[in-house]
Amino acid sequence: MSENQRAIGVVQIVWILAALLVAAAAVYHVVNHYRESRVAFTTPYQAILLANGSVYFGHLQDYGTAHPILTDVYYIVSQANPDTKQTNNILVKRGKELHAPDRMYLTPNQILFVEPVGTNSKVAELIAQAKQQ
């Protein structure tokens, strides 16, 4: 092998190593960005307002990713008493519908905002009561 061929081989190895380092840095950046984009909640339940005006309460997982999931889902139904014209709000556990869903796969761009459900809030109290029944 000539001196010229050996030099070309060394240059090729250097370029391959440089490409591997760039690829490793890119993978590290993507993984680190993914970890930083996930949100951790400090309360058991979150309130999610969707673009269609619906509000759901549940355990929100993978928020900040392309596929957030809501489990143990509740929503509020308002019922008006025809005699007194008073409105009663009733917390309903999702899953009693005909198709019996056990989770909701959410579209991230349809989530307007997410708030924690305070552990001493009326919603948290109603969820605790519903779990006891």
Residue 3 predicted with pLDDT over 80 = no
Beta pairing class for 46-50 and 111-116: antiparallel
pTM, two decimal places: 0.69
- At 92-103, the pLDDT tens digits run 999 888 999 999
Which fold would CATH assign to domain 46-132? SH3 type barrels. (2.30.30)
Q: What is the mean pLDDT of the chain?
A: 88
- At 11-27, the pLDDT tens digits run 888 889 888 889 888 88
In the chain, where are the structural domains located?
1-37, 46-132
- Mean pLDDT, residues 69-84 taken together: 92
Would you state the torsion angle of the CA atoms of residues 39, 109, 44, 73, taken in this order, to the nearest 10 degrees? -160
If pLDDT is split at 50, 70 and 90, which confidence band does 33 have? low
